[in-house]
Homo-oligomer: A and B are copies of this chain.
């Protein structure tokens, strides 16, 4: 699907406003104004507000697939290193596409099987499959221990990053970073999250639980 300049403007405006205000909180007039186009263009191009949301998803998810596939075949790096690369990749993606991820978070909270909910489901499933392979490879080689709840592990990765993004104002405040430059803060978050998750994952993947 190739989009025109105006269509891209609409999608970006929608991404921003859906992230900020939610689907119901952002009116098509808001979006049209933000995109600097006529209100009617949204129906004209996308059919409806719902379809626009789907377009936002399809547009943003194209760039969001984790680069696990290439990692799997690479034999020059250790299994743990692969996981660490994955973490870096995920954290980066999340931080650089905060708006879209906020939309995803919101959509997952909705108690209905919207078309978008299905798209999210498939996206997550695909990601999970890839990671599963990566972990299982490590398990076969003996690098990782057995009995790893991969879904739970992923829940911690996704959850921790999501929560950090969601509550970044809070994080800034309690760490007295309120006046830090936005870019610098993102770098900091990236570094902290990355190290934190790598540490946790090493624990999950390699240390036997002692009860």
Contacts and interface: CB of A to CB of B under 8 A. Distances in A.
Interface of A: 19-25, 102, 105-106, 108-112, 121, 124-125, 128, 149, 151-152, 155-156, 158-164, 166-167, 170-171, 173-175, 192-193, 195-196, 199-200, 203-204, 207, 209
23 contacts: A21-B24, A21-B110, A21-B111, A24-B24, A109-B166, A124-B167, A124-B170, A151-B175, A152-B192, A152-B196, A155-B163, A155-B164, A155-B167, A156-B159, A156-B196, A158-B159, A158-B163, A158-B167, A159-B163, A162-B163, A199-B203, A199-B209, A200-B203
A94 to B, nearest CB: 12
A166 B196 CA distance: 22
Nearest to A163: B159
Nearest to A20: B111
The 5 closest A-B pairs by CB, nearest first: A159-B163, A159-B159, A24-B24, A203-B203, A20-B111
B162 A128 contact: no
The oligomer's copy count stands at: 4
B110 A156 contact: no
For chain A, what secondary structure do more than half of its interface residues adopt (helix, strand, loop), or is it mixed? helix
Contact of A174 (B128, B203, B204): B128
A115 to B, nearest CB: 15
A156 B167 CA distance: 12
A28 to B, nearest CB: 13
Contact of A164 (B22, B23, B112, B159): B159
A105 B166 contact: yes
